[in-house]
Chains A and B, each alone.
Chain A
Amino acid sequence: MKDAKTIPKRIIFTLLLLVVIGWYFFPVYWALITSFKTPLDLMSSRPTFFPKKMTLSSYEDVLLRSKFLYYLRSSIIIASGVTIITLILATGAAYSLSRLNFKGKRLFSNLILLVYLFPGILLAVPIFKMMTKIGLYDMLPSVVLVHVMITLPFCIWTLRTFFDQIPRSLEDAARIDGASKLSVLYKLYLPLIGPGLVTSAIFSFVASWNEYIFPLILLSTPEKKTIPVGIAGWASSYTIDWGQITAAVILAIIPVIILIQLIGRRFVAGLSGAIKG
């Protein structure tokens, strides 16, 4: 009896899955095969789904004849720095907003949203001026400073939601056992908000990885540019080398995927049994 009910359900489910995979991954697949296409294929007026001939020449161009590896280094350094700093600051702030009572709490949590109320491009020029004045002209840390400003509000708000969902009774129990407010934070809460930390980390890293306006304005040395700035440069002249750009895109995905794999294991682990009544 169970089978008769579940077969149509399974078909729908599988169909849904296929639609999802198709829609989200087709453009990526398109970029992938483009990166392997020969110049002749790239010029043809009929798009091909499976290139007859494949070549690594685009990847060669990107890795050996462009500054891509420099861009990769800059992006990794900046995104990593942003992620660590954001996690540290956001966790503390989210905890205090969720569990502690202090004057100005409401104001704090609203004020930090100020960052998102402005289009980035308009902020770029004054921020560049400021950074130059404090001696951070053309230095990677200036981008880290700005990116943290961008990632913090979201992470604080999100982590606070996760904190909120943990019953206060747990904390009370720990407090009775003699734990201080601070140790409660890292001994009790931190393990419980695992998924929240993971998403904050992923968000911070990817948001920084992808952002191109500030590295563009704040950095001048070509070797310090980040990947989006580099790719934007290649895409803005009369001739677009599609093979090269798609190859760079595919390469740029790899570090991020690795990071997500490393910390994403949390998702699969889940939360089973962590909360005791």
Chain B
Amino acid sequence: MKKSKKLILLALSVAVALSLMWPVKVSAEDIVLTLWHWETPPHRVEKLDEILAKFREETGIEVRQNPISFPELNSKILAAIAANRLPEMIWVNPPQLMILRKHNSLVPVTDIFKRIDAEVQFLNPSIELYRFDQEQLTIPVYGISWPLEYRADLYEENGLEPPVYWTDLLEAAKKLTKDLDGDGRIDIYGMMMPYSIKGNYGSQAVWGFLRTNRANVVEMENGKEKIVFNSTQTIETYKFLKELTKYTSPGSENMDWGMGELQIRTGKVATAVYTAGFLSTLYRKGLEEMARKWKQKFIPRPKDGRIGHTAYTRGLVFTTTVISSKEREAAVKTFVRWLYKPENYAEMMMMEPVLFVPVVNGKSMMDAFFAKPLIGKFRGAMEVQIDVLNNSSVIGFVNGIKAPHAAELEGSFTLGAVLQKIVLQGWSVERAVEWGQKRYEEIIKE
């Protein structure tokens, strides 16, 4: 007994000693650049490691990546700002951009952006999103689109055309909600329509539909934000969504990305607003046949509506750390220019094939991209997602405005909360929308 106790004590003491002596490897002369992002799944991290290793081979400059889990991203960025320890580069969405901009932690990238744009031709929406007062604050990296996914085989079986209008979608949702094995319980649901505030998904699914009916959250008037959520367009949209939730699967009240994708993968739903990324996952796991059953298209709109979607463009920002020395600045610029070479960019898209949407248009870029085998396989899905990106917007950035509270407005998940109040609490649509309006107004007050 005593001996084993001593042994443990010894082992633990060694561990303590080790922990106190954890080596700091970076030598003074080497420049090491750091890139933060939130693509945490191991295969994405692995792919980026490959790319960064290739860069180091060719140029001798080391770039290290730090994947951060998305829910903690904001707190980590804030902590870094507070401690003055920002990495040189971060891949951001508009909310994170606003955080960094508010603290003056960014360096405009207009010059290098122009140079790269000449070669790759960025898509317009991604450019507009990140242009502030004539300066470009990010270099667009890739996009994530939320098209309508539908089980083409089931639609065909049931004599349904892929839905174009809201009425089509309702009809399809109704028809495809079925008890397949006659046991009295429904086995498949026509449309997965979350009314959840757990995570972004619930609000993301709603936003696209709002945009198809020209509804909006915030506009700028005389340089100040004005909440325009409470409108006939919004009310019409929520009335439609309320109908739609009749055909959604249980679990929609608390649905997040992970659970939503699980329901898609296990065949519980026939339609959903979701990214096509799960196709490559299915393929990678040897389930290509299942992947083939799903097709993508624009989300349905009202008869007199427009085409609108939820989609995000990730941008690469330079933080103020970049200009801390001339060598650092040069190294970062070298890296970025290298990254946007057709072959390297295409390889970067392969971090998560079919999920990452290229935000470039140049022929050599697209050729390199579509030459990748997996992309070639799912070319249809890719093309739809690119189209979706071109017809999308983000809360607070509609029609070229840049709402200062965009990050908070999106982060409040009010869109999902409103639908929840309607479906779970039985509020009238008008009352719930009014509530949403008040909530948004409170947010922009501070």
Contacts and interface: CB of A to CB of B under 8 A. Distances in A.
Contacts of A237: 38-41, 70, 257
A36 to B, nearest CB: 15
Nearest to B17: A81
A141 B258 contact: no
B445 interface: no
A83 interface: yes
A241 B41 contact: yes
Contacts of B186: none
A62 B65 CA distance: 19
B82 to A, nearest CB: 5
Interface string B5-43: 000110111011011101010000000001000111111
A81 B17 CA distance: 8
Interface stretch (B232-240, B278-286, B317-325, B360-368): B278-286
A228 B261 CA distance: 23
Given A80-B12, A124-B79, 11 more contacts: A39-B285, A39-B287, A61-B42, A84-B16, A85-B16, A137-B85, A139-B24, A234-B42, A236-B71, A237-B41, A239-B41
Interface residues of A, number: 54
9 contacts: A40-B286, A43-B265, A81-B20, A220-B34, A234-B40, A234-B42, A240-B258, A241-B41, A263-B8
Contacts, number: 150
B355 interface: yes
A189 interface: no
Given A84-B16, A216-B76, A128 B82 contact: yes
B275 interface: yes
Nearest to B274: A238
B261 A240 contact: yes
B37 to A, nearest CB: 11
Contacts of A139: 22, 24
Contacts of B82: 125-126, 128-129
A238 B257 contact: yes
A236 B40 contact: yes
Interface of B: 1, 4, 8-9, 11-13, 15-16, 18-20, 22, 24, 34, 38-43, 45-46, 64-72, 75-76, 78-79, 82-85, 87, 187, 257-258, 261-262, 265-268, 274-275, 277-278, 281-282, 285-287, 290, 355
Q: Do most interface residues of chain A lie in helix, strand or loop, or is the interface mixed?
A: helix
A132 B22 contact: no
Contact of A262 (B8, B68, B257): B8
Contacts of B64: 221-222
Interface string A223-257: 01000010011111111110010000000000000
A271 interface: no
A169 interface: no
A124 B74 CA distance: 12
Contact of B277 (A40, A61, A84, A239): A239
Q: Which 3 A-B pairs have the closest CB atoms?
A: A39-B285, A233-B40, A66-B42
A78 interface: yes
A238 B277 contact: yes
A43 B15 CA distance: 42
A260 B179 CA distance: 50
Given A39-B286, A141-B19, A144-B19, A45 B267 contact: yes
Interface in A60-116: 61-62, 65-67, 76-78, 80-81, 83-85
A222 B69 CA distance: 11
A240 B75 contact: no
B14 to A, nearest CB: 9
B19 A121 contact: no
B75 A229 contact: no
A43 B283 CA distance: 12
